[in-house]
Every structure is written in structure tokens, then in C-alpha cells.
Amino acid sequence: MEAISYDRPSVIALLRKHGIAPTHQRLEIAQVLFGRCHHLSADQVLAKVNESQAETSKATVYNTLNLFRDLGLIREVIVDPKRVLYDPNTEPHHHLYNVDTGEITDIDAGALSVSGLPELPTGMVTEGVDIIVRVRASEASLG
Amino acid sequence: MEAISYDRPSVIALLRKHGIAPTHQRLEIAQVLFGRCHHLSADQVLAKVNESQAETSKATVYNTLNLFRDLGLIREVIVDPKRVLYDPNTEPHHHLYNVDTGEITDIDAGALSVSGLPELPTGMVTEGVDIIVRVRASEASLG
DNA sequence: GAGCAGATTAGACAAAGTCCAAAGATTGAA
DNA sequence: TTCAATCTTTGGACTTTGTCTAATCTGCTC
């Protein structure tokens, strides 16, 4: 397991290691993603990056998110039918999804095991197993 | 476990049992959904319903899918970031998702068990656990 | 600095889904 | 059967998420 540092030089090194140029926009986006543990949507990334001053366009945010995803630097989380979220945590883990608030929490995959998965059809390989625990506030707690 | 019959009188009875009027459009949509085992998108339902002649509008298809979902007659499958799919199988089960083709196959939940899920925060209850096995054709099988 | 490859951009575009006010269908009661 | 009340359906405008493109910009090498 490889810890990702969030300071600028480390991010620059990380991008170079993956063969992509560490442009100003990519660094800004990387820092927004890695600088917090939240799961962010493309729109949220765009807003954060341009918070103090306009830095990047919508197209660049989408380009960069897809690039980072292809390089394995971030993961897509498909849980909310309205939008894709991006997860800076690339360690094996699953998600707890609050259907009322939209809030997402990580579940470490270490403690968790799944048994009884069926054989895959010949010629197929598993790319990943996503587990989503959908939760909501109980009736009692809404009193 | 309760088997759902797909003939018109049974569907009418089912809708009435849930307190909703068995309108022409709802019956058409129900038959499209229950008459095959596929996972359909709203657009596909719309197309099927209007295959031979125009029967229902887009708005009605969306209204009805949401209604059926709220009543528990169908389930949303959130796997493809582009669209929600609707699953007429309401028995406990999970999904195999072919990331290349978009094809979805059911995995019976009976054979499957998950252990090591964390305690929920106080006041939260689980609404469901979705497991999605993402698969693709192996390199070898691509010749 | 010239040339070049790659990156960024605005804005047009596409698709999924929601919303609304008007029109249509259903139903129970008389 | 008819009526009125209620519920449904509808077209179309609208919103949101995401993609695409052609033009511009940047940074690098020579």
C-alpha cells in the first residue's frame, strides 16, 4: 500500500510518474481531490477549484477526472443516480450511502468478506466488486 | 415469496391491491416490465410500450416507474452512470455488470453471504445491501 | 524565437430526467 | 346515466450532467 502525499511536489511527482504533464489546472484539481476525504462530484470539484478565482473550465475538470480515473489515481463511485462521484481513496473499500442526505462513508474492505459468488462465465474476469450499504435514519430516531 | 403473474387480470389486481388505478398506460408499462426478465431503462420502456402504436408519453413512463418503485413492485439498479435501470425482480439478489457491453445478470442472494459489515451509527437502519460484480472479457478471450 | 505536440477553453450539443398547467379519464353517488 | 370530484396523462419547456469540437494557448526542444 502506497500513501499519497498531498503537497504540491508529491503531486507533481505522481503525475510525472504516470507520464502526464503536471499543468496548473491538474495540480489544482488534484489538490481539491486529495486534500479532503470527501467524495466529490465533477461540479463540486469545478466549484472548489474556482472558489477564489477562475482557474479551470468545466471541460478541463471532466478531462482531468477521467484521466485520473484511467490512471487509477481516483475511483468512480456510482451510487447516486444523479451524478458520478469521485473518490480519492483507491484502497480496496466499499461504501455506506445515506439515501436521505446523499452522504457517503467508506467501509474498509479488510474486515469484510463475501462468499458464495457464482462462477464467472468462461472468458470473463472480475474487474471489481462494489458493495453499497444503503442506510437511512430509523423511524424511531426521527421522533 | 410471492410469484407475480403477468397476465392482465393479475396485474390489475396487483395495482388495485396497492391502491392505484389500473389505467391503460400503467398496465402497458407493467406488462413491458414484468413480461421479460431484462433490466430496462426508462427510454427502453417508453420505446417498447409505443412499439406498435403510440400509447404513453415520456412523462407517464417516468411517473409510473417511480410509482412502481415506491410501491416496491420494481427495483432501481444504479450501475450504469448514464441511466437508471429498472428490475422487475424484487427478490433479494445482486448484479453482475459487464462493463464493456452494459449487460446485467442477476446473482441470487441466497447463495451469497457478506460478513464483517461495520456497526451502523446509532439511529440508522439498513435499507439494503447492493453488491455489484463488475466483469469484462479477459485479455485471453479477446484473441 | 520557430515549430510542434499536447492542454485548455467556450460554447454548442446530447441525453436523462423533472415540472407544469391544461386536457382527459375514472369513479362513486344519485 | 349523468355529474362532479379526483386522479392521470400529456406536450413541451426546462434542468442537469456530461461530451465534443475547433480554436487558442502553453511549454518544450532545437
pLDDT digits (tens, 9 = 90+) for B18-47: 999 999 999 999 999 998 878 999 999 999
- Nearest 5°: phi and psi at A101? -95, -15
| Among A5-9, A81-85, B64-68, B98-102, the least confident range | A5-9
Architecture per CATH, domain B8-77, reads as Orthogonal Bundle (1.10)
The domain locations on chain A are 8-77, 92-142
Which three cell numbers mark B106? 442477476
Measure, in angstroms, how far nucleotide C23 C1' is from residue B59 CA: 15
3-class DSSP state for residue A80? coil
Residue among A113, A114, A124 whose CB faces B138 most closely: A124
How many residues would you count in chain A? 143
Cross-chain residue pair B141–A124, CB shorter than 8 Å: yes
Q: Do A129 and B132 touch (CB under 8 A)?
A: yes
Contact residues on chain B for A120, CB-CB shorter than 8 A: 96, 135
CB neighbours of residue B96 within 10 Å: 21
- For chain A, give me the number of helices (H) and strands (E)? 5, 7
pLDDT of residue B4: 55
CA of B59 to C1' of C21 (A): 14
B127 or A41, which is more confident? A41
Nucleotide nearest to B19 (CA to C1'): D7
Q: At residue A22, does pLDDT exceed 90?
A: yes
Residue A132 has pLDDT above 70, yes or no: yes
How many inter-chain contacts (A to B, CB under 8 Å) are there?
112
- Asked if strand C contacts B42 at the CB level, meaning under 7 A, the answer is yes
Q: What is the mean pLDDT of residues A90-94?
A: 92
Could you tell me which residue, A4 or A82, shows the higher pLDDT? A82
Closest CA to B96 of A85, A37, A136, A120: A120
Beta strands in A1-143, from DSSP E residues, in sequence order: 40-41, 75-77, 85-87, 93-98, 104-108, 113-115, 124-137
Tens of pLDDT, residues A98-109: 988 888 999 998
**Residue of chain B with shortest Cα separation from A118:** B107
Residue whose C-alpha is closest to residue B97's, from B35, B39, B32: B39
The partner residue sitting opposite B113, judged by closest CB among A79, A115, A130, is A115
Per-residue model confidence (pLDDT) at position A4 = 55
- Positions 58-77 of A with beta carbon below 7 A from strand D are 58-59, 62, 66
Rounded to an integer, what distance in angstroms lies between the CA atom of residue B105 and that of residue B120?
Answer: 29
| pLDDT confidence of residue B9 | 86
Residue located via cell numbers 463488475: B134
